[in-house]
Each structure stands twice: as C-alpha cells, then as structure tokens.
Structure 1
Amino acid sequence: MRNRIIEEDICGIVTIKDIPWLELKGKTVLITGANGFIPAYIVETLLYINELNSGLKIKVIAVVRNGKKALARFEHYTGRKDIKFIVQDVCEPISIKENIDYIIHAASQASPKYYGVDPVGTILANVIGTYNLLELARAKKVKGFLYFSSGEIYGEVAENQIPTGEAMYGNTDPLNIRSCYGESKRMGETMCISYMHQFGIPIKIVRPFHTYGPGMLLDDGRVFADFVSDIVNRRDIEIKSDGTAVRVFCYLADAVEGFFRVMLIGKTGEAYNLASDFPISILNLAKLLVQLFPERNLRVLKKSRNQTKNYIESKISRAIPDIKKLKSLGWVTRHSIQEGFARTVQSFEIC
C-alpha cells in the first residue's frame, strides 16, 4: 500500500494533461539510482500511469545498488511484470538484452556528507557511471537520454549573475574537496554533449537545486532534511550557522513533473534549471517549519558551529537560479513552500 501523501502526489503528476504521456506508450525506460528518493518517485509515476491506462504498457528497468533496500521501497509492486530490477553499481558496464527507449541517469551521491568520506566514489558515479550509461544509450539507439546534473555546476557566481541562467558559470576551486561533486557533474554534462555531437545521442540535461519531499532520508545531512527530522521527532531546530545563506527548495512532486517535461518536451542538447519560485534563508526556513506546527511548541536555536570532517559546507551564500527556461515548457510551481514542507512532515507521520 502506498503512503497516502505519495499516492496524492503521483496522482497529481499523471493527471497533468499537457505532458505528452502517450509518447511513452509501449516504451522501456531505464532509470539508474532508482532507489533514491527522487528517481523512486519517477519509477512510481510510470507504474501508476500503467495502472490508469493498461494499454500504455510502459516497462521500467530500475538499476539499484542495494537490492534489499529496493525491495523494501517497492514492496507493493512485487510480482508486477512492468518493472524489472537490476542490482549493480553503474560504475560497472551494464549489459541488458531488452530494447531500451529512454534512459534517466540519476545515480549519484548527492549529499555533502559523502564528499569528505568518499569523494572518489562521488566522482566515479558521475563520470564512469555516465560513460557506461552513454555507451548503453549508444548501443540501444535510445529515443531519449535525461541526465541528472545539479545546480552545483555553477560554482560561485558573481552577484550580477543572480538569478543564475543556464549559460552563466562561476568559479569552482578544483583543490576544494567539495568540488568532487560539482566538477564531476560538469564533466558528466560535457560527456553527454560530446556523445550527442559524435554519436547522435538525444541528450537532455536537468539541473535540480534543493529538492525535498516524502521518502527523503532524514539523516541525509542537508539542512532541509535535518529540519524535517527535528519536526518529526519533536526537537527544537538547531542552526549551526548564522542562517543567512539563501536557497530555493522545490517540492518533490513539482520536481518530478519538471523532469518529465524536460525529457518529453525539452530541446535536445540543452540544460534546464529546476527549482522553485521561493528563495528563503536557512534561518527563515527553520522559523517557517516551527510556525507550521505551533502545537509542538518547538523553537529555533542557534548553536556554535560543529563541523564534522565528512560534511563539507558550501561557501555559496546565495544560490538562486533563473527558471524561465523550464517555465517555457509549461512548468509551474504547484506547491508553496509551506504546503510542501507540511506534506513532507505528514508523509513521515501517517500510518
């Protein structure tokens, strides 16, 4: 049985009428990192489409590293013929007999908690993994290849580059260990464009910023996950910085809609920022979450910085993308930041 919040979200996505879902009729979609909280929503969306219209016959191939976790995440789909799991690391060559029409490459260590402890693993999934998926796309002559990049690729942009459009780029220090993520995502983008240029692979790139929602790991290490964990566990929110950094937080259902729009409507060879319309400081986000649940009598507390060696903090004070390009595909922010975080907390608390 699906979580009620997830059920409502997915139903809302698949009933959006201006997304050309019929393009997926009879198609096979391979999704890497399928057990991750963002690609898992994509998997469930495709399976839900089949439930609504059995004639579409979409097949999902879910590539996961941990088979046990995948079976737990997708336990209510056991026995279905429209999903197949492949348990392997994307850094190993992928051998599949079936025809593949679309590849969504979303396998990556996105949390900063990995950058200090496993920077090499972070790089390999974004470079070697991308190479293996592009080679598979080349062999299968896919109809579409969607690459999950990141807003991190922009680096430290100048003030006059905010909001940041897709053609603007700032500085990235290659000797900063945190660059293992942003630089390898940049390389992944260049690899995608190179394969498009040389081999005709129909590449599309999406650059998500901070995405939150049901199913995210509460020990993810990123600030929004920490805050939701505090609310769910009825703890005061502790901020270990001055809280002035500004970010944009996009609710997962809105993000998933954006991914499908880019894949099915976006222009080949182009990148699209994906974020919400709601820039907010970290301090104000903490206050907003506390205010959403006044009956819990929680507070926002400022604590002294206690940086761990594994979590590598960003130096960027304001990360605000220009999303006009995504909006040109018909995308809109459907969930306010208040509604999105309320739904996220509820998703962890309902039975």
Structure 2
Amino acid sequence: MNECMENEIMQQDLEMLVDSDLPITALEGKSVLVTGATGLIGSQMVYLLACYNRMRNLQIHIIAMVRNEEKGKKMFSHLIGRGDVELLVGDINRPVVYSDSVDYIIHGASATSSKYFVSNPVETIYTALDGTSNILKFATEKKINGMVYLSSLEVYGTPEKDADLITENDYGYIEPLSVRSSYSEGKRMVECLCASYAHEYSVPVKIARLSQTFGPGVAYEDGRVFAEFARCALEQRDIVLHTQGHTVRSYCYTKDALSALLYILISGKAGEAYNVTNMDTAVSIKEMAELVCETIGSGKIKTVIDIPEDLASFGYNPEMIIRLDSKKLMQLGWKATIGLEEMFERLIKGMKK
C-alpha cells in the first residue's frame, strides 16, 4: 500500500528519495519521534520513513506526535493499520508522556502562519520556548541518538543591504518590540536552548534553518505566498501583490528539505546549525509572481500591485534581500535537485490531485 494514497506526485518524490543514496541505515530498527506530524514537513517525513520500511524493510518504528487526533488518524490510518506508525496524541506545550524507547527526534511542531504571529504573539513565543523545552527534556530522559530542530531563515532578521550570501554565522537586525518578531525571536531563543542542551547535557541536537519550502502536499487553502501564486495559476486569476515585491529569498523543494533533514539528523554536528535551501532559486517576490504568470499561467494572467492601508495586519516581514548559503550542508553530502519552476509545476500537479 502506497504511503500517499491521494497524491501521486508526492509518492513519486518519496520513492525517488528511497532509491537515492541517503545515509539512512543508522535509522534501521530504531524508533523515530516526529513532532508536528500533520504539518507539511512532518507528515511527509512520516510518509518517507514508512516508504523506507515498505521498499527497504528498515523496520523503523515511527511515532507521529499530533495535537489533533482526528486529523492524525485521517492522515495516517492506513499506516497505523499497516503497523508502521504509532500515533502519539499530545500538545508539546505540556510534558511529553511516552513509556517506550525513542532513538531519534525530528521536532517540527511550531506556529507557521504570519497572521497568527501577529494576532497571537504570546502563544507563538511560548509554543516555541515551552514546547521545545519539553521536547529537549524528553530527549535528555530518553538518551536519544540524534535530534533535529526545524528552525527558519527568519533567525537572520533583516541583513545589511550590501550583504552577500548568508552563512550560518551571519545575523541581521530583528526589531524586538514588533509583535511580528514573536516568531523570529522565538526561533533564535530556541536555537540557543538547543545549543545549551547540547553543551550542558550532551543532547545530540542539530538545527536546520529552512528557507521557505514547498511542493506537493501544500494544502490548497494555504495562506503562504507560493500557495496563493499556485492558486492564481490554477484559477487563471491575476496575482495581486500587497507590497512592491522587492523582498528576495531563496527556496527549497519539499523532497530536498526531507533529504536535508536526514543528513543533518544523522551526519550533522550537535549544537550546530545548517542552512537548508536551493541556492539557485534566489528571486524577488515580484520576479516569482512574474515567473508563475508567464510559465505556469501561460501568459494569460498578470501581476498586479495593490498595497492596502492596513498592511501591518497581514504580518509581512520588512522588505529585504536574503540569499542563504547552503555549502555547510552540502559538505555533509546533500544537494538540491529541483529548481523553482519545477517546484511550482509539481506543487500545482499535487494541488490538482
């Protein structure tokens, strides 16, 4: 039985990863806890590890931690029935209760919506700090072999205007009195917490600084910019930008992000951070919109600038240029495989399904 029964594009990606030379043997016969297991990255990690079990018989025990039991059962019931996945229902804001052994942790549970960061900044901060503190305490108790924390490019804040490629040692400015900084500052503090646990308690936790990541599996109603662009192409609607679209970022395809997380989990150095991005995808928001209009939209739609008066309520970051350098990750053996245009093509094919 396939892992992604409703998304053949995602299934193709998973099977390509299983057929690749990822350093996965360390996980054979081990227990892996995935938090945020109903999220975009968490769910695909659960599917990927289950795909390894089916195709390579690695007998990985996958513990999918979910807050919403109904949603978890809907996503993973076929794998629970198959025996690959165990559902652990719980909120990371409370101590994790699990009696059996855990060897590895992939910690992806987090607030993800920009509008939520603005409307619920206190909850955004506490979910980051208290939630990850509970996971790290649990990791210490279980004497795990490895853990990866899913951080974000937002820890870099706003770089200097003349900044070149951003390495893991470069940091820009974050305005601490802006409620939108609840996410960025929360991620920064949690990274320090992870490094502190690695130093003081020898917890083998590593940090993955993900650029914006998308591909098949993104929900049709997702509020992030790439999903809106994809919907516009599918519905043949003009793309409306609420800023001038000058912000430049680099992006990463979901399949490439999954492989990066496994490289970092297994081969990364405890207490250190790794940028996860396709360095060839650095593009401005406006350029990305125009790419989608011309290629995916076949030139039948156009990009429109319409800046609202209540712009702050949208939760957008300040305009910036931030091109991540992923050479440190590449030194572990990882490489990006999918470019921006193909990322959108596969995202849209997945949405159609």
Give the structure-2-normalised TM-score. Answer: 0.94
Whether 1:14 and 2:13 are equivalent positions in the alignment is no
Equivalences, count: 348
Matched AA of 2:237: R
Name the residue aligned to 1:283. 286
Name the residue aligned to 2:306. 303
User: 1:103, 1:146 within 8 Å by CA — same for their partners in 2?
Assistant: yes
Name the residue aligned to 1:65. 67
From the superposition, tell whether residues 118 and 207 of structure 1 become closer, same or farther in structure 2 (CA, over 3 Å).
same
Deviation at 1:241, TM superposition (A): 1.4
5 Å matches for 1:23-34?
Answer: 23-34=26-37
User: 1:114, 1:311 within 8 Å by CA — same for their partners in 2?
Assistant: no
User: 2:128, 2:187 within 8 Å by CA — same for their partners in 1?
Assistant: yes
Identity of aligned residues (%): 36
User: 1:106, 1:147 within 8 Å by CA — same for their partners in 2?
Assistant: yes
Deviation at 1:82, TM superposition (A): 1.9
1:347 aligned to 329, 346, 350, which one? 350
Deviation at 1:297, TM superposition (A): 2.1
User: 2:80, 2:87 within 8 Å by CA — same for their partners in 1?
Assistant: no
Q: CA RMSD in A?
A: 1.6
User: 1:161, 1:168 within 8 Å by CA — same for their partners in 2?
Assistant: no
1:42 aligned to 42, 45, 66, which one? 45
5 Å matches for 1:308-347?
Answer: 310-347=313-350
User: 1:212, 1:252 within 8 Å by CA — same for their partners in 2?
Assistant: yes
Give the distance between the partners of 2:264 and 2:125, measured in 1 at CA: 25
Name the residue aligned to 2:165. 163
Gaps of at least 5 residues in structure 1 are: none
Deviation at 1:65, TM superposition (A): 1.2
Deviation at 1:294, TM superposition (A): 4.3
Give the distance between the partners of 1:109 and 1:347, measured in 2 at CA: 24
Deviation per CA, 1:79-120, whole angstroms, max 9, x where unpaired? Answer: 122211112210011110110000111100122121111112
From the superposition, tell whether residues 231 and 318 of structure 1 become closer, same or farther in structure 2 (CA, over 3 Å).
same
Name the residue aligned to 1:268. 270
Deviation at 1:122, TM superposition (A): 1.1
Segment of structure 1 superposing worse, 218-227 or 40-49: 218-227
Deviation at 1:2, TM superposition (A): 4.1
Matched AA of 1:344: L
User: 2:246, 2:319 within 8 Å by CA — same for their partners in 1?
Assistant: no
Deviation at 1:74, TM superposition (A): 2.6
5 Å matches for 1:116-131?
Answer: 116-131=118-133
From the superposition, tell whether residues 156 and 266 of structure 1 become closer, same or farther in structure 2 (CA, over 3 Å).
same
Give the distance between the partners of 2:319 and 2:290, measured in 1 at CA: 21
SS at match of 2:190: helix
Give the distance between the partners of 1:305 and 1:256, measured in 2 at CA: 36
Deviation at 1:125, TM superposition (A): 1.6
Deviation at 1:140, TM superposition (A): 0.3
Name the residue aligned to 1:85. 87
User: 1:243, 1:282 within 8 Å by CA — same for their partners in 2?
Assistant: yes
Matched AA of 2:213: T
Give the distance between the partners of 2:309 and 2:86, measured in 1 at CA: 43
User: 1:172, 1:183 within 8 Å by CA — same for their partners in 2?
Assistant: yes
User: 1:245, 1:318 within 8 Å by CA — same for their partners in 2?
Assistant: yes
5 Å matches for 1:108-187?
Answer: 108-187=110-189
Matched AA of 2:8: R
Give the distance between the partners of 1:299 and 1:168, measured in 2 at CA: 36
Gaps of at least 5 residues in structure 2 are: none
Give the distance between the partners of 2:75 and 2:292, measured in 1 at CA: 27
Give the structure-1-normalised TM-score. Answer: 0.95
Segment of structure 1 superposing worse, 73-82 or 24-33: 73-82
Deviation at 1:77, TM superposition (A): 2.2
Whether 1:51 and 2:65 are equivalent positions in the alignment is no
